[in-house]
Amino acid sequence: MPNVLNPEPESITLNTELETPTLEPATELEAQPSESTSNPETAEAQHIAAPALDADASTEPVAQAAPAETHQHSAAQADHSAESNEDFSAALEAFEREQAAEAAAVEAYGDKIVSGTVVKQTEKHLVVDVGLKSEGLVPLEQVTDHTGAVKFQPGEVIDVVIEREEPEGGYLVSYEKAQRLRVWDTIEKHANDKTPVIGTVVSRVKGGLTVDIGMKAFLPGSQLEIRPVRNLDGYLGQQIEVRVIKLNKKRGNVVVSRKEILEEEQNAKRSTTLEHLGEGAILTGTVKNLTDYGAFVDLGGIDGLLHITDMSWGRLTHPRDLVNVGDEIQVKVLKFDKEKQRVSLGFKQLTPDPWLDASERYPVGAHVHGRVLSVTDYGAFVELEQGIEGLVHLSEMTWSKRLKHPSKLVKPGDEVDTVVLSVNPADRRISLGMKQLLENPWENLTERYPAGTVVEGRVRNLTDFGAFIEIEDGIDGLVHVSNLSWTKRVKHPSEVVKKGEKVKAVVLGVEPQNRRLSLGIKQLQPDVWESFFATHRVGDVVHGKVLRTAQFGAFVEIAEGVEGLCHISEASEMPGEASKLEVGQEHEFKIIKINVEEKKVGLSLRAVSGHEASRAQVESYKEHAHKAPVSSSTTTLGDLINWRKNER
């Protein structure tokens, strides 16, 4: 690509003999200029003072002059003063001509290039000897690179254009203008031919960048790339290819564009790419941009979207986990919309789906090693290989029921050993277990805790139907509410035991296959019902205390822990008679019913009252019979009935 930075036209060196307009013959003072003539004010002062100095030097002391010579001396002095005035006028006129000639020389050089030698560097300027009576001053910003370093050192030759004389002394000269004059024709040719130019980005300015293409040109930010660029500073110091799109020679302005070149290149590539683009095609592209949902890949003038779900058979949290901007990757065209020129790409499709033969590679029961990818409330996902993940459910992590959350056992990044429990390739699921690698405490539980064994544990949980007691890590037994007490009618386990309390219980049964252990607490106490039924029969009269009443009767405590029911029909002797059953009252009751299986006892108050009345009547009859001639030994039931009628 052509470089227009350093064309080499002939430099113009200041030569007063050739370039300065012809002046009038100079006086003797003009022919011998001194250093002081470089400053107009100093020169003028010296010219004015010169006559007086000459006059003093050519005369004798006045005190030694004779009276006759005074007149002659005064006349000579007057003549000399006149001559000095003429010399001063001539010197002043010569100085003015010199100044005019200097100005004319500067004006004559106008837009011509002058070569000068760098003398030194000041705070604001680079001082250059350009052959004039004063030195040239180049603003530092014209001769610094993008790092701020001055490009020229004392003694080096530099091309400049003389612009004007500064009021405070010296000449303002332009390095940039000289460069523009050097390269202007070449730049103009490139602009007309629309050929690219190589330049270096030297600084950032409002709205864009400054590019050195032999002269400073403006590159708008919108013309830097095809897509908008946020960070322009990243281009500083870079060499780029640009095209001149606007020139203003009068103002010396040049505007360039890089976007036009890139668009043309992109269009050319697009035409070539479209010839080979089709569904199923495998192409090489460059990652241009990353988003949360995928990556945009430049296929050569046309961009395609590689969605995150088509990047890997496994799980990705972000596209950067697989690719970065600038990476060159192979992709497969999944879909191509010619009208909208939209391309969908795939990366994982370049490799076989690992789930196709997952059942063969991960049979049930196989021990596999993996890495924990994520942890949820219900389990942990373990990556067995790229694209194959399995779930270890919370219930399959440990035999213990204490584990509340998987994070208590594993965390992302952990390496774990697991057992394959099931494989479902269609749903892309594998169930894994961790506790299966540990000893199952339920397998030999029957041998360790046979029925009747007394165990001790802590109450871990209470429910409406019973209490769970942990007898060892991972082994909980259930005490059903019916097995809490022989005597109490327990509605909730909290009436008998408290959560966290340490209690003893008896093993009632073990079901290892169902992971069930039945326990009982009341079995540690003697069975009062069994003792009662062993010593009582139907017809026995027992003493009891009314505990509570109901519409159908009253519950009566007839022994410690043993209750019987006296139905309302058995509460009084005569129908309509007021019931004698009130809470706290004590009576004699007759057992009229026993149910050993259901542990129920039926009582009757009426039967006991009738039995006592009959005995009293018999005793009364016997007493009267002693007074009568009838023998008590021959008294019959009929006699007793007849006697009772007569009594009434």
For the ranges 14-23, 76-85, 549-558, the lowest mean pLDDT is seen at 14-23
Question: 431 pLDDT band (50/70/90 cuts)?
Answer: very high
The pLDDT assigned to 579 comes to 63
Average pLDDT, the chain: 77
Task: Choose the most confident range, by mean pLDDT, from 27-31, 116-120, 212-216, 546-550.
Answer: 116-120
Question: Is residue 313 included in any domain, yes or no?
Answer: yes
SS3 per residue for 428-449: CEEEEECHHHCCCCCCCHHHHC
Backbone angles phi, psi at 217, to 5 degrees: -120, 155
Both 487 and 546 in one domain: the answer is no
What is the average per-residue pLDDT within 409-437? 92
Are 156 and 21 contained in the same domain? yes
Strand 475-480 with 379-385, pairing? unpaired
The answer to whether residue 395 sits within a structural domain is: yes
Residue that is last in its domain, among 174, 195, 223 = 174
Amino acid residing at 351: T
Provide mean pLDDT across the span 421-449.
88
419 is a domain residue: yes
pLDDT tens for 169-225 read 888 999 888 877 777 878 888 888 889 999 999 999 998 999 988 888 999 999 998
Could you give the CA distance from residue 430 to residue 396 in angstroms, rounded to a whole number? Answer: 13
Q: pTM higher than 0.85, yes or no?
A: no
Instruction: Report yes or no: 305 and 296 within 8 Å, Cβ to Cβ.
Output: yes
Which among 541, 616, 611 has a CA at the least distance from the CA of 573? Answer: 611
Per-residue pLDDT, 611 = 54
Same domain, 122 and 38: yes
Strand partners, 619: none
At residue 642's C-alpha, the angle toward residues 638 and 643, to 5°, is 115
* Domain contains 474: yes
Closest residue by Cα to residue 266 from 281, 283, 251, 286: 286
State the DSSP string of 35-104: GGGGSHHHHHHHHHHHHHHHHHHTS--GGG--HHHHHHHHHHHHHHHHHHHHHHHHHHHHHHHHHHHHHH
* Same domain membership, residue 406 and residue 464: no
**What pLDDT, in 10s, does the model give residues 13-48?**
333 333 333 333 333 333 333 333 334 333 333 333
Residue in the block written with tokens 């006086």: 27
The tokens describing 363, both together, are: 């049979």
For residue 72, what pLDDT is reported?
A: 52
Buried b (16+ CB within 10 A) or exposed e, 550-578: eeebbbbbbbebbbbbbbeebbbeeeeee
Check whether 326 has a pLDDT greater than 50. Answer: yes
Helix (H, G, I), strand (E, B) or coil at 496: coil
- Verify that 615 and 647 share a domain, yes or no: yes
* CA-to-CA separations, 397 to 377, 404, 429, in angstroms, rounded: 13, 11, 17
Q: How far is the C-alpha of 497 from the C-alpha of 494, rounded, in Å?
A: 5
Amino acid identity at 476: D
* CA distance linking residue 243 with residue 191, whole number of Å: 7
Q: What is the pLDDT of residue 88?
A: 62
CA-nearest of 19, 47, 225, 211 to 109 is: 19
Residues 25, 149, single domain; the answer is: yes
The answer on 463 and 411 residing in a single domain is: no
CB-neighbour burial class of residue 510 (10 A; exposed 0-12, middle 13-18, buried 19+): buried
80 has pLDDT over 80: no
Q: For residues 332 and 285, is the Cβ–Cβ distance under 8 A?
A: no
pLDDT digits (tens, 9 = 90+) for 271-313: 777 777 788 888 888 998 899 999 999 888 788 999 998 888 8
Q: Is the pLDDT of residue 423 over 80?
A: yes
Decide if 298 is inside a domain.
yes
Same domain, 491 and 584: no
Per-residue confidence (pLDDT) for residue 100, from 0 to 100: 55
Q: In the structure encoding, which two tokens stand for residue 225, read together? A: 């790339």
The count of structural domains within the chain is 5
Residues 552, 605, single domain; the answer is yes
- From 294, 325, 350, give the residue that closes a domain: 350
620 three-class SS: helix
Residue 642 sits in the same domain as residue 562: yes
State the pLDDT at residue 623: 59
Do residues 490 and 624 share a domain? no
pLDDT score, position 181: 77
Q: Specify whether 471 is located in the same domain as 544.
A: no
The answer as to whether 248 is a domain residue is no
CATH at 364: 2.40.50.140
Q: Are 182 and 174 in contact (CB under 8 A)?
A: no
Per-residue confidence (pLDDT) for residue 416, from 0 to 100: 94
> Does residue 212 sit within a domain?
no
* Alpha carbons 545 and 472: distance in angstroms, whole number: 45
- Determine the average pLDDT of the residues in 581-608: 87
pLDDT-based confidence at 93, cuts 50/70/90?
low
| Residue 82: per-residue pLDDT | 55
Q: In the chain, helix, strand, coil percent, each to 5?
A: 30, 35, 35
- Give the residue numbers spanning the domain of 387: 358-429
Residue that terminates a domain, selected from 157, 174, 191: 174
- pLDDT above 90 covers a percentage of the chain that reads 24
Contact 218, 253 (CB under 8 A): yes
359 C-beta neighbours (distance < 10 Å), count = 14
144 secondary structure, DSSP code: B
Evaluate whether residue 155 is within a structural domain.
yes
